[in-house]
Amino acid sequence: MRLVRWLVTTTLCVVAGTSNAGAASPRRDAPHNVILVVIDGLRGRIVTPETAPEIAKLRDAGSYFPNSHSVFPTFTTANASALATGHQLGDTGDFSNTIYTARPITSAGSSVTPFLENDSVLGELDATFGGNYLDEMTVLEAARRAGYGTAAIGKLGPALIQDHLARDGATTIVLDDTTGQDGGIPITTDIAAKLTAAGLPLATPSRGANGKSGDFRTPGTTSANVAQQDFFIDATTRVVLPTLKARNHPFAMVFWSRDPDGTQHNQGDSLNRLTPGINGPSTFAAIRNADGDLGKLRAALGRLGLAATTDIIVTSDHGFSTISKQSGSSPAAKQTYADVPPGFLPPGFLALDLAKALDLAKALDLPIFDPEAHDSRLVEGAHPSRGNALLGPDPTHPRLVVAANGGSDLLYLPTHDRGLAASTIEALLAQDYVSGIFVDDALGAFPGTLPLSAINLKGHAATPTPSIVVNFRSASSGCATPTNCQVEVADSNLQQGQGMHGSFGRGDTQNFTAAVGPDFRNRFVDPAPVSNVDLGRTMLALLGLTPPSRGVLTGRVIQEATPGQKSPASRSQILRSKPAANGLRTVLRYQQIGPVRYLDAGGFPGRTLGLDPAR
């Protein structure tokens, strides 16, 4: 009932074009506690009573959302921003884990293409972009302003994003990888004393063997992230939850489990081979690790007498895929490198291939500079160290910027040169690893491409909007549930056979979502599409909060999960671009409820999992 009443209130606000300046709306009954558990990189269909008994138990007892969606690009900080604000990426500006900031970020080694899973980088981004790089108030900020207890615990980056302006450690309790280290968010003397009393350290343990990614000759890890996550869950159950309970006021908490993501990326089960890929024993140990943490969390809620008054939403930021480094068309794959097996795509292949193609076809001499190596010029036979690249004669005024991310990359044209955009698109269309090109509406329409506005990326963002989003090829490696065995080309320092995400294949967009608690229906399976953006809105509704909105690209409250409500009608749609000269069309498969668009898959038919090859 609470959800429904809130929905009516906010709908009226939106229609009137206004929103409350304050964080809380008056309410008669006290809201319940809300806990969001994000199990990073958990594929939507991988959960069974055998692989993840605690997650399966919650799913089967409460509300399950099998038609769920990550936002594209399917990366962690991007989805963290959607969950944190209830806005699409076009508004939050957190377009991927690595973005172009146009200004050097000191805490990222003065790179203009910083990796955002870093608390210092997030703080500097806030300072660079008007005091709040997301340009929207987060759920946890709205909650603490309204007097709720708040906490964000777990993986470095996405944990702090939940309340990134609360860097004092007192207004919101933050525990992540860098707690107790230089650059970490501090903890209060009260929390420190309680950690010590509980026999826990004051600094987060390292990932140990789990952090080892190996190299092209050495397999990566075979260990799940056990020691570090044991600390996070023990601190949560023995210190944070009792502290929040003792305040005698409802609370909102986010627990972000790095597993299975970190293990799936780094696993050494499949070096240079596509099978088992991310379906080897290390992955399943990592899923089991995260599953055990959920079990401990629920047991603690029971012990503390909070189970009946606490809603738990379990989601994942994105699905996952096995990395392929194969291409028949890439000139970069034909070169030799010191750290790449012969014939495989090197990190930074997109930058290398674009520079070569623009030189050959258009006589554009675009030397490559490496933003992760102090803008040094790339020497013959080398690849960009992290895949990122600044192209053009002057690295301080690049003509083209590649922000490499994995299953998709971002391209920026700082001069907004339409001719260079056309040449770049022509070069992209010639590569067999590309599947789908999305172009900033401001640059105009190009055959073979769809506009950023079609995929929720054109909004109110404070950070630079990418000029072109390039999606890479994906396919099933052959299994009964194709989203469980997606293989994708990825621009990454990891090896073929290790794990990545970020693509527009359904294997990456299909995340896991379920919820249980006093505000959710029991044994309910929702046929309607939902997304991580919706979860942000739904958390606000559960907490009775109406923070101000700057952008309009918001999700919807999942009101059908409330007892007595019906699922909304949705439409399935296909959007096709005009064909390029070589016949390729970017195609988007999506679902729509009212103004909210849910992205199933995008790319060139036959090159993206989830797109009908014939259409």
What are the residues binding Zn ion (CB under 5 A)? 261
- Answer whether 229's CB lies under 8 Å from 263's CB: no
Q: How far is the CB of 68 from Zn ion (least distance, A)?
A: 18
Least distance CB 65 / Zn ion (angstroms): 21
Cβ closer to Zn ion: 177 or 261?
261
Among 14, 13, 20, 27, CA closest to 543: 27
CB of 510 to Zn ion, least distance (A): 15
Contact 26, 545 (CB under 8 A): no
Q: At its nearest, how many Å lie between Zn ion and the CB of residue 261?
A: 4
Distances (CA, A) of 573 to 41, 469, 569: 26, 21, 13
Pairing relationship of beta strands 33-39 and 310-315 according to DSSP bridges = parallel
- Provide the minimum distance between the beta carbon of 536 and Zn ion in the complex, in angstroms, as a whole number: 20
SS3 readout for 507-518: HHHCCCEEEECC
| Min CB(406)–Zn ion separation in Å | 8
Distance (Å, whole) CA 219 – CA 306: 44
As measured in angstroms, the least distance from the Cβ of 260 to Zn ion is 10
Could you give the strand order of the β-sheet that contains 149-154, starting from the edge strand earlier in sequence? 173-176, 149-154, 251-257, 33-39, 310-315, 513-516, 63-64, 524-525
Give whichever of 262 and 610 is closer to Zn ion, judged by the CB atom: 262
Distance CA 26, CA 18 (A): 17
Pick between residue 261 and residue 291 the one whose CB is nearest to Zn ion: 261
Residue of 89, 87, 92 whose CA lies nearest to 122: 92
Helix (H) or strand (E) segment spanning residue 534: helix 532-543
The region, left, alpha or beta by phi > 0 then psi within -120 to 50, assigned to residue 523 is left
Q: Least separation, in Å, of the C-beta of 98 and Zn ion?
A: 12
Residue 30 CA to residue 13 CA, distance in Å, equals: 22
Is 266 or 608 the residue whose CB approaches Zn ion more closely? 266
Closer to Zn ion by CB, 271 or 500: give it.
500
Instruction: Map 211-232 to HEC letters.
Output: HCCCCCCCCCECCCCHHHHHHH
Gap between the Cα atoms of 529 and 70, Å rounded: 11
For 520, left (φ over 0), alpha (ψ -120 to 50), or beta?
beta
What is the SS3 assignment for 573?
Answer: strand
Q: For 163-207, where are the alpha helices, taking DSSP H only?
A: 189-197
In the bound state with Zn ion, the residue whose beta carbon lies nearer, of 78 and 413, is 78
Closer Cβ to Zn ion, 84 or 494, answer by number: 494
Minimum CB separation from Zn ion for residue 265, in Å?
Answer: 6
63: closest CA among 599, 563, 536? Answer: 563
Q: Please, which residue, 234 or 261, has the CB nearer to Zn ion?
A: 261
Nearer to Zn ion among residue 42 and residue 52 (C-beta) = 42
Nearer to Zn ion, 176 or 261 (CB): 261
Inter-axis angle of helices 226-235 and 281-303, to 10 degrees? 10
Residue 500 Cβ vs Zn ion, minimum distance, rounded to whole Å: 7
- Measured from each CB, the residue nearest to Zn ion is 261
Nearer to Zn ion, 532 or 591 (CB): 532
Q: Which two tokens stand for residue 528?
A: 């309607």
| Residues 272, 496 contacting (CB under 8 angstroms) | yes
Q: Considering the complex, what minimum distance in angstroms separates the CB of residue 320 from Zn ion? A: 8
Q: What is the nearest approach in angstroms of Zn ion to the Cβ of residue 318?
A: 7
CB of 97 to Zn ion, least distance (A): 8
Is residue 395 a contact partner of residue 291, using CB atoms and an 8 Å limit?
no
